[in-house]
Amino acid sequence: MPETGSGGSAPEWWRGAAIYEVYLRSFADGSGDGVGDLAGLRSRLGYLAELGVQALWVTPWFPSPMADAGYDVADYRDIDPVFGTLAEAEDLIAAAHRAGLRMIVDLVPNHCSVEHAWFRAALAAEPGSAVRELFWFRPGRGPSGEEPPNDWQSIFGGPAWTRTKSPDGTPGEWYLHLFAPEQPDFNWANPGVREEFESILRFWFDRGVDGVRIDSAAVLIKDGTLADAAGDPGSPYTDRDGIHDVYRGWRAVADSYPGGRALIGEIWLPDPERFSAYLRPDELHTAFNFPFLESAWDAGALRESIDATLDVHARVGAPATWVLCNHDVTRQVTRYGRADTSWSLGHRQHGAPTDLSLGTRRSRAAALLTMALPGGVYVYQGDELGLPNVEDIPDDRIQDPFWVRSGHTNRGRDGARVPLPWSADGPSAGFGPAGTTAEPWLPQPADWVRWNAAAQRVDPASMLSLYRGALACRAAEPALGDGPLRWLPAPEGVLAFARDGAPGVLCVLNLSDRPVPLPGHAGVLQVSDPLVGPGELAPDTAAWLRLP
């Protein structure tokens, strides 16, 4: 395994790595059935190595009925046939390592699928049986149990409880699901669940994976009294104290393997103190930085978010991460092209007026900003192509459970999941292999080839060329990646900071509406768009300079 990651010795690669999120269903389709798979990913490892990232996070690849695009797992120790086989996954891990790429799998511990063997056994068993204790089964309220056991709501909409039926059709107990009804929640108070997940971790570490992204990491532990939430929706299950014990156990498993196996939490928590508790030295290594992703395109808001992030992480000695997008949110080219550039309105902004060329310009600058900040950085597939969110998917092609569960009011997250355009020709812009006719699982817009990777690869002004140049520079500059940041004085609406080192790097980002002179420097390393005038930075652009 080669040395990878900026600013850190190999076992601590996660402190400064650039990590690429592969949304497997939409990355590359090797089999020609319209769904991305392991063969497709394997065939594009060269592209990813050339892009200059150090690790891949691959979204769930386990057997699944795909009620939530694979986040409903039927078997944590195998691969869904639509993606390939376990042998292919093992080969892929080895091939990625040979290409200098670490591999991160996506583990879903809060819930499984209704097709998971434990849940099927629980459904078949009597109320009160041991196997039902692995989940949250409860009798309903009301004279004949026709009301859910409490008032908790599913994150996708509707009640968080579904009633079971006995084989003869009579209604039985209810079970808890914070997400879709096809995703029953595990009972993490049960030691059997804890043992099982530590064993699953070992299963994948034994196969050489370098890290685990932990889905919905802060909601595993429930208030065991199952009292009503009474207007405070997340409180009975979000960030309950017992969770830290779970992750201490996981950390001990990770630490028992050589080579630096990283635990990465998907933790959406507004309270910085509570967030940092997950990153104590005996818990998770890093977590996604969602407050930054939610921040508006505004100098004050970004600076505040950066300072808060660095402060929170410094308390526990953990590296920060920087994320602009993932498969759950609106692509940044679209978000930054709107009047409200924050993520405060989420999917409710669907269809709002969007200036894509402004959004693209800002996304280019944001890429340089995130890659210059201390810690690790994530690239979501398609960020590097500048893909916009697709917001005109026909109603009958929408797959996201949000759509149905919200009574067709929330179009959900499919707009960020449309299969990638790889080339200018071919039936699905190169997403499927030549000669196949299967339609991609989500429709690509008619002009999708406009963003194809092959054309961008040879265009020095493309988003792909910007990403490749910046990632290469980031990997080569010892001052970038993990390490300290020093703010520099800057005019109103401009952010400027130094990454000290020998040599050091200076990053400057102009969020004002007028060109600003570059600060004193000893050379230009990267620019998000051409400079104007004699060394002036245009609005909505960023530059990396050699620190004098």
**Contact footprint for ligand NOJ (CB under 6 A):** 68, 71, 108, 179, 215-216, 266, 327-328
Shortest Å, Cβ 33 to ligand NOJ: 22
Residue closer to ligand NOJ (CB basis): 265 or 388? 265
Structure tokens at 113: 């699928």
Going by C-alpha positions, the residue among 257, 254, 256 that lies closest to residue 265 is: 254
Residue closer to ligand NOJ (CB basis): 76 or 297? 76
Shortest Å, Cβ 72 to ligand NOJ: 8
Residue nearest to ligand NOJ (CB): 71
Going by C-alpha positions, the residue among 393, 385, 398, 391 that lies closest to residue 349 is: 391
Shortest Å, Cβ 263 to ligand NOJ: 16
CA distance 325 to 448: 19
The dihedral over CA atoms of 447, 450, 453, 456, expressed in degrees to the nearest 10, equals: 180
Going by C-alpha positions, the residue among 362, 391, 366 that lies closest to residue 379 is: 366
Structure tokens at 223: 């208030």
Q: Is 7 left (phi over 0), alpha (psi -120 to 50) or beta?
A: left
Residue closer to ligand NOJ (CB basis): 350 or 546? 350
Three-state DSSP state, 171:
strand
Residue closer to ligand NOJ (CB basis): 184 or 337? 184
Residue closer to ligand NOJ (CB basis): 380 or 544? 380
CB 237 within 8 A of CB 186: no
Going by C-alpha positions, the residue among 418, 398, 428 that lies closest to residue 410 is: 398
Residue with tokens 């790595």: 17
Residue closer to ligand NOJ (CB basis): 107 or 299? 107
Characterize the bridge pairing of strands 541-546 and 376-380: unpaired
Residue closer to ligand NOJ (CB basis): 4 or 216? 216
Shortest Å, Cβ 209 to ligand NOJ: 18
Burial 256-288 (b: 16+ CB within 10 A, else e): eeeebbbbbbbbbbeeeeebbbbbbeebbbbbb
Shortest Å, Cβ 68 to ligand NOJ: 5
Residue with tokens 């992703």: 293
Written as one string, the DSSP assignment of 437-477 is: -PPPSSPPPTTGGGG-HHHHHT-TTSHHHHHHHHHHHHHH-
Residue closer to ligand NOJ (CB basis): 247 or 268? 268
CA distance 99 to 310: 32
End-to-end alpha-carbon separation of the chain, Å?
A: 35
Shortest Å, Cβ 318 to ligand NOJ: 21
Shortest Å, Cβ 215 to ligand NOJ: 5
Written as one string, the DSSP assignment of 393-438 is: --GGG---HHHHHTTS---TTGGG-PPPP--SSSTTTTSSPTT--P
Residue 23: Cβ within 10 Å count: 23
Shortest Å, Cβ 70 to ligand NOJ: 9
Shortest Å, Cβ 84 to ligand NOJ: 21
Shortest Å, Cβ 23 to ligand NOJ: 9
Residue closer to ligand NOJ (CB basis): 141 or 348? 348
Shortest Å, Cβ 405 to ligand NOJ: 11
Shortest Å, Cβ 4 to ligand NOJ: 25
Structure tokens at 536: 């002036």
Residue closer to ligand NOJ (CB basis): 179 or 204? 179
Q: 143 preceded by cis ω (within 30°)?
A: no
Residue closer to ligand NOJ (CB basis): 68 or 540? 68
Characterize the bridge pairing of strands 18-22 and 376-380: parallel
CA distances from 442 to 41, 53, 64, 276 (A): 18, 27, 18, 37
Residue closer to ligand NOJ (CB basis): 400 or 477? 400
Residue type for position 138? R
Shortest Å, Cβ 124 to ligand NOJ: 25
Residue closer to ligand NOJ (CB basis): 25 or 313? 25
